[in-house]
């Protein structure tokens, strides 16, 4: 089955669309993907999303409802553009846009919750295809973090019989999957190590007063000086000492974390570029500190791979603490660095349609694996259900 995955990460830098051939009982994806593209958000929509997800301000129910539809329309347009370029897509898995992710609120601080918007009914209506969305909530309901959800994809595509590997995604948040040599799914370990691009983007926008800015190619960090004092103080954040399973978002490493970094940096007399360089160092050190000692290969994907300063610091710290660790990008394994997460949600959608679990409790901390996602029927829904029924194994066969 040809399945489309659509994703916008916590950095909100665009909408990724990947089309993957998925087959078999487990939903094993073909690599490389059949198609991949990234579409930028319209500037006004991105500004509105950042105003809700990153500002900490309360918004009305009407504003959130309107944004839900607007993101659905933006995802629909990206999907329709892809459908004009490639034939045969039968199913869409849409992760949506994370607005809030707080699966472990402090005692008395509310109920565990996660929220992704991007109305799947709009996507189903515009494309005519059945859509699977809302992938995280079932895991949270089962006592899990609702994240990370990509480890199952990592297991299906990147595990090795003879080599222990760690798979790292550098999005807004950095998440790590550990695949011991010859592992079964229940042996996979995964969690969010902490920040990647999110605080870097926020710091550049804050310090340079440019709402659309980010540290392109790591140039700002490369001009700065890493402050050991600032790095040590930021690494004292309780999240880094927390044992997995754990997941993070803007609540941990968004505007408040950056505001504290800027405040400390100014108290230390640092230049703006020094603060950005030091935040990049925090991302690199927190990742490498989380890589298990027995790991032999680190496979990296995500937008952070395009930041040479961040990648350079990763390689430097890997060489110091893990001398046998090879560091490379997922491109070497047929998985484009920018496409991996969208590919993963295509696989999860396929598994949901076939009634198969899409989560790993060892990664999310849930009581049990769950079928992840809500199915929104499109015009092809009856056809899909007949195909799934016809392909289902029967007792005695």
Distance separating alpha carbons of residues 85 and 218, to the nearest angstrom: 33
Express as a percent the part of the chain with pLDDT over 90. Answer: 86
pLDDT at 10: 79
pLDDT at 107: 64
The domain 152-333 having CATH identifier 3.30.420.40: the answer here is yes
Is 220 within 8 Å of 266 (Cβ atoms)? no
Is residue 243 classed as helix, strand or coil in its secondary structure?
coil
- In sequence order, the β-bridge partners of residue 116 are 98
Asked if the model's pLDDT at residue 131 lies above 70, the reply is yes
What pLDDT, in 10s, does the model give residues 204-240? Answer: 999 998 756 789 999 999 999 999 999 999 999 999 9
Which fold does the domain 2-102+104-143+339-391 belong to in CATH? Nucleotidyltransferase; domain 5 (3.30.420)
Asked if the model's pLDDT at residue 397 lies above 60, the reply is no
Confidence of residue 57 (pLDDT cuts 50, 70, 90): confident
Please choose, from the candidates 68, 78, 247, 215, the residue with its C-alpha nearest in 3D space to the C-alpha of residue 151. Answer: 247
pLDDT at 108: 64
In this prediction, residues 279-299 reach a mean pLDDT of 97
- In sequence order, the β-bridge partners of residue 98 are 116
pLDDT at 212: 66
Asked if the model's pLDDT at residue 56 lies above 70, the reply is no
Asked if the model's pLDDT at residue 365 lies above 60, the reply is yes
Q: Domain segments of the chain: what residues?
A: 2-102+104-143+339-391, 152-333
CA distances for 237 relative to 1, 194, 241, 304, angstroms:
44, 10, 8, 22
Confidence of residue 174 (pLDDT cuts 50, 70, 90): very high
Tell me which of 106 and 275 has the higher pLDDT.
275
Asked if the model's pLDDT at residue 173 lies above 60, the reply is yes
Is residue 285 classed as helix, strand or coil in its secondary structure?
helix
Is residue 281 classed as helix, strand or coil in its secondary structure?
helix
107-111, 172-176, 185-189, 201-205: least confident range: 107-111
Is residue 193 classed as helix, strand or coil in its secondary structure?
strand
Q: Do domains 2-102+104-143+339-391 and 152-333 have the same CATH topology?
A: yes
pLDDT at 160: 97
Tell me which of 253 and 393 has the higher pLDDT.
253
Query: Average pLDDT of the chain?
Result: 94
Please choose, from the candidates 191, 234, 230, 165, the residue with its C-alpha nearest in 3D space to the C-alpha of residue 363. Answer: 191
pLDDT at 170: 97
In this prediction, residues 393-397 reach a mean pLDDT of 65
Asked if the model's pLDDT at residue 73 lies above 60, the reply is yes
pLDDT at 203: 95
Is 280 within 8 Å of 313 (Cβ atoms)? yes
Confidence of residue 284 (pLDDT cuts 50, 70, 90): very high
């Amino acid at each position: 089955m040809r399945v489309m995955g659509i994703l916008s990460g916590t950095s909100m830098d665009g909408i990724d669309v990947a089309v993957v051939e998925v087959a078999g009982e487990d939903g094993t994806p073909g690599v490389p993907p059949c198609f991949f593209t990234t579409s930028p958000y319209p500037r006004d929509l991105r500004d509105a999303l950042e105003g809700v997800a990153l500002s900490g301000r309360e918004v009305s129910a009407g504003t959130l409802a309107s944004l839900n539809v607007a993101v659905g329309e933006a995802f629909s347009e990206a999907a329709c553009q892809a459908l004009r370029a490639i034939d045969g897509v039968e199913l869409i898995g849409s992760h949506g846009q994370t607005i809030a992710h707080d699966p472990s609120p402090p005692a008395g601080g509310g109920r565990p919750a996660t929220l992704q918007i991007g109305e799947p009914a709009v996507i189903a209506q515009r494309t005519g295809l059945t859509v699977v969305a809302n992938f995280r909530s079932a895991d949270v309901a089962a006592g899990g973090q609702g994240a990370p959800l990509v480890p199952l994809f990592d297991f299906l595509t990147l595990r090795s019989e003879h080599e222990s590997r760690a798979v790292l995604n550098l999005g807004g948040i950095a998440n790590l999957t550990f695949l011991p040599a010859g592992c079964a799914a229940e042996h996979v370990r995964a969690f969010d190590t902490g920040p990647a691009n999110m605080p870097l983007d926020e710091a550049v926008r804050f310090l340079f007063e440019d709402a659309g800015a980010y540290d392109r190619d790591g140039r700002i960090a490369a001009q700065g000086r890493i402050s050991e004092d600032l790095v040590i103080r930021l690494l004292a954040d309780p999240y880094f000492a927390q044992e997995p399973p754990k997941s993070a978002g803007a609540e941990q490493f968004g505007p408040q974390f950056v505001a504290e970094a800027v405040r400390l940096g100014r108290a230390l007399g640092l230049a703006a570029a020094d603060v950005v360089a030091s935040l990049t160092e925090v991302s690199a050190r927190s990742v490498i500190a989380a890589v298990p000692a027995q790991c032999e290969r680190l496979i990296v994907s995500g937008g952070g791979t395009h930041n040479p300063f961040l990648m350079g610091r990763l390689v430097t710290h890997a060489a110091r603490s893990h001398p046998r660790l090879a560091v490379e990008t997922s491109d070497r394994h047929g998985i484009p660095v920018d496409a991996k997460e969208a590919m993963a949600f295509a696989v999860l959608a396929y598994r949901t349609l076939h009634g198969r679990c899409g989560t790993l409790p060892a990664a999310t901390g849930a009581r049990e694996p769950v079928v992840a996602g809500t199915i929104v029927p499109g015009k092809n829904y009856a056809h899909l259900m007949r195909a799934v029924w016809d392909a289902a194994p029967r007792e005695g066969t």
